[in-house]
Structure 1
Amino acid sequence: MNFDDQPHRRLNQLTGEWVLVSPHRTKRPWQGQEEESDRATLPKYDPACYLCPGNERAGGAVNDQYDGVFVFTNDFSALLPESPDSQPVADGLFVAEPEPGLCRVICYSPRHDLNMARLGTERVAAVVDAWCREYEELGVREDIGYVQIFENRGSVMGCSNPHPHGQIWATGATPMYPASEDARQAVHLREQGSCLLCRYMEQELASSERLIFENDSFVVVVPFWAIWPFETMVLPKVHMTSISEMEGKQRLDLADALVRLGIRYDNLFQTSFPYSMGIHQRPTDGGNYPHWHWHMHFYPPLLRSRSVKKFMVGFEMMAMPQRDLTAEAAAARLRELSETHYLESL
C-alpha cells in the first residue's frame, strides 16, 4: 500500500477505532489565508487575571502569593463530592448513576505571559512533580477511581485564560476513553503476553518515520493512527503503569520532552500553539493493572496556519474520523523544526 497517495484507513490499537486517511487531497491547491507570525506579548502580571498570584478569583477566594506551582480546588467544579442521598436510576432504557469527584486547577507559574514551551525545564519539572503528587494524593481516596490530568491551551480549545495552567478531574469511575484503552491493553497482554505500547514503541523506533525526537527516558511520535493534523504521543521508554513510578531523572526527562515538543509546536505556525493534552494511566480504584503503559496525548486543531483549523464535521461526525495529511508527513514537519523558540529572536 502506498501511504502517500492511496486512500486507506488505519486502526487505532489503543481504542479499536479506525481513521480514514486521504493523502491525495493534500495535492489540491491552497487559496486560503496566509499569515504573519504572532508576536503579541502578554504582561508578566495581569491584575485582572484570576489565576495570577494574589488576585481574587471569581468565587471570592484570593490566590496565594505563589512563586512556583499553585494548586487549588476549582471554584466552579464540574464534579462534586458524593451526596449521601444519591441513588442510581434504572428505568428501562433510562439509566443514570451518580458521579462523585472533584476538580482542581494547577497553575504552572506565577508568570502570566509564559506557556509550557517557554517555562524552561526546571519549572516544568516542578509541574511534573505536582502532577505526581496530586495523582498519588487523590488516588488513595475511596471515592476516587480515576485521576485525569489535562490541559486546554488556547481560546480555540475553550480555554478562557492564557495564564499557564492545567486541570485535574478526579472521578469515581474510569471515564470512557481511558476505559477503552484499559480494555485494549488488557486484551493484548492476555493474548500476546506483552505490553501493547512497549511493542508499539519498539516498532516506531525501528521505523523512525513518525518519530519526532527522543531523550534518555521518553519517545515523542505522531501516532500511526493519529486523527488530528499534528497529534502527538509521549511514551516512557520503560514500562510504567502511572506517573508516580517515575524517578528523578525520568521526571526531568519528561520536562525536557514537554519543553522541546512545545517549542516545536509554537514554531510550526509561529504562534502560541493551541491543543488539548492529557495523561492516560492506570485507574486508582485498587485494581491490578499490569497491562497499563502510561502515556500523554496532544490533540492540536491547527491545520495550515494559526487560524486555519481542522474541524470534525460531516463525514467525521456521521461516519468516522478522516485526515488528509499523513502521520508520516506531519512527523517530518515537526521533526525538522528548530528547538529555539521563535520569540527568542525578539
Structure 2
Amino acid sequence: MKFNPDDHPHRRYNPLLQQWVLVSPHRTKRPWQGKQEEGELNQRPEYDPKCYLCPGNTRANGEVNPAYGATYAFDNDFAALLTEGPEPSIISAGNGLMTAQTVTGECRVICFSPRHDLTLPEMASDDILSVVNLWCEHYQELVQRHAWVQIFENKGAVMGCSNPHPHGQIWASSYLPSEPAQVDSSQRLYWHENGRPLLLDYANAELADGSRTVEENEHWLVVVPYWALWPYETLLLPKRHVRHLGELSRDERRSLANILKLFLTRYDNLFETSFPYSMGWHQAPGNVEGLDDNRDHWQLHAHFYPPLLRSASVKKFMVGYEMLGEGQRDISAEQAAERLRQLSANLHYRQKNK
C-alpha cells in the first residue's frame, strides 16, 4: 500500500518542541454529534459605555482611560506577575519533589484600536502598523530588564478572552518559561550542528515546497507548519535571519502589518465568523541565568493557534489521547493550507455581506 498523507494515519515531528503529533486525516469523515460552541457575535458597537477598555471609560480598578485615538497600552490592573517580590530563591521540600521559585515581572494590556468593533483583519494596514510598532517598542524596553518578553493575543470568548474589545497582552518575566526554554534549546542545538538558524532553514524548505504556504510577501511567510497540532494553526516567519522584533527594518514592519491583515482576513472568511485564536511571538530572550549571551540561533516567529475545526460552532478539543498520549489532528497540514488559500484575503466577509 502506497502511503498517502491525506488518507493514512501517521506521525509528524515538531523540531521546536521535540514532540510528535498524530495525524488522522481519515477521521474527518466521521459524523459530529458533540459539543456545539456558540459563534462569536459579529456585530458590536463602535463604542461601548460599559467596556473597561474603550476610550474615556473607567476600568475595574477605578482608573480612567484617556480618550485615546490610536493603539494604547497600559499596565494590567490584574497582573499575573508583580514588579516587586521576595529575593530570588528556590524553595524545595519532599526530597526535591515539591519545588517553588520566586518570580517577578510586568504585565501590560494593548488596545489595538479605540474602536470596540474592529479586530486586526478589519483595521486599516496603517493602524495594524501602529500595533506592530508598539510590539517592537515594548519588547526592546522590557527585554533590557527581564529574561523573557511574551507578546500574545487571546481572541474570542472561546479562547478565554474576558473583554471583547480587541486587545493583546505583554507579560515580561524574570525567568525563561518552559516552552520558550525548549524552543531555545532546540534552536541552539540545530545552530551548533548546522551553523544556521533552524527556522530560517525551515522557511526556505517551505518556500521550495509551497503546499503548506498560506500567504507570502517580500519579507514574510505564513504557513500551516508541517507539524501543526491545531486544525488551522499557522506559523509566521521572516524570510531573513531576524532574532527579535527590535531588528525589523521599517519596510519589514510595514510588510508585517500587510501580511497580518491578509491572512487574518482568510481566517475570518473560513467560517464567516470573527475567528478565535491564541497567538504569540517567540523571539530572543534577555539575560537568562545559565545561558550564554549568544542569541544567533534564534529566529523570530509567531504562532497562531485557532481551535475551530468544522464550523464556527465546532471546535477541536484537546482531551483523552491528546492529554495522556500525544497531540492529534484530523486534517493534514496540506489540506488546511489549501482550504485557507482558496479564501479571499482582500475582501472580508462582513464587507461582502454588506
Given the two structures, how large is their TM-score scaled by the length of structure 2? 0.94
2:150 equivalent among 144, 148, 163: 148
Deviations 1:199-253 (A, max 9, x none): 1111111110100120010000000000000000000001100011001110000
What residue in structure 2 maps to residue 102 of structure 1? 106
Q: Partners in 1 of 2:39 and 2:296 — Cα distance? A: 46
Instruction: Quote the Cα distance in structure 2 between the aligned partners of 1:180 and 1:115.
Output: 31
Equivalent position to 1:119, from 123, 129, 133:
123
Determine helix, strand or coil for the equivalent of 1:160: coil
Structure 2 match to 1:14: 16
- Distance in 2 (CA, whole Å) between partners of 1:210 and 1:265 is 15
Measured after TM superposition, the shift of residue 6 of structure 1 is 1.3
2:311 aligned counterpart, secondary structure: coil
Against the structure 1 CA distance between its residues 288 and 38, is the aligned structure 2 distance closer, same or farther, given a 3 Å change threshold? closer
Deviation for aligned residue 1:260: 0.7
Q: RMSD between aligned alpha carbons?
A: 1.8
Task: Answer yes or no: is 1:338 the counterpart of 2:344.
Answer: yes
Paired residue for 1:324? 330
Q: For residues 228 and 80 of structure 1, what CA distance do their matches in structure 2 show?
A: 32
In structure 2, what is the Cα distance between the partners aligned to 1:84 and 1:29? 54
Residue 316 of structure 2 corresponds to residue 310 of structure 1: yes
Q: State the Cα distance separating 1:36 from its structure 2 match.
A: 12
Inter-partner Cα distance in structure 1 for 2:33 and 2:176:
44
- The structure 1 segments of at least 4 consecutive aligned residues displaced by more than 4 Å after TM superposition are 29-39
- Displacement of 1:82 after TM fit? 3.3
Counterparts of 1:1-346 in structure 2 under 5 Å? 1-29=3-31, 40-85=42-87, 87-91=89-93, 92=95, 93-141=97-145, 144-285=146-287, 287-339=293-345, 340-345=347-352, 346=354
Q: Percent identity?
A: 54
Partner SS, residue 304 of structure 1: strand
- Number of residues of Structure 1 aligned to a counterpart in Structure 2: 344
Following the alignment from structure 2 to structure 1, what is the Cα–Cα distance between the partners of residues 311 and 35?
A: 8
Residue identity in the other structure for 2:306: P
Deviations 1:102-160 (A, max 9, x none): 1000001000000011012100000000000000111112xx11100000000000001
Gaps of 5+ in 2: none
Alpha-carbon contact 2:37-2:314 (below 8 Å) kept = no
SS in 1 for 2:308: coil
CA distance in 1, matches of 2:250, 2:278: 26
Q: Distance in 1 between matches of 2:88 and 2:209?
A: 52
What is the Cα deviation at residue 28 of structure 1? 2.9
- Secondary structure of the 1:170 match is strand
- Tell me the alpha carbon deviations over residues 282-303 of structure 1, each in whole angstroms, 9 at most, x when there is no partner: 0011722100001000000000
- For normalisation by structure 1, the TM-score amounts to 0.96
Secondary structure of the residue aligned to 1:182 is helix
Moved more, 87-96 or 61-70: 87-96
State the shift of 1:88 in Å: 2.2
Q: In 1, are the aligned partners of 2:40 and 2:157 still within 8 Å (CA)?
A: no
Separation in structure 1 between the aligned mates of residue 38 and residue 82 of structure 2, nearest angstrom:
44
* SS of equivalent to 1:303: strand
Deviations 1:138-190 (A, max 9, x none): 1112xx11100000000000001111100000000111111111100000010
Deviation at 1:37, TM superposition (A): 9.2
Query: For residues 79 and 140 of structure 1, what CA distance do their matches in structure 2 show?
Result: 17
Residue type at the aligned position of 1:218: W
- Tell me how far apart the structure 2 counterparts of residues 35 and 77 of structure 1 sit (CA, whole Å): 29
Quick check: 114-123 or 21-30, which moved more? 21-30
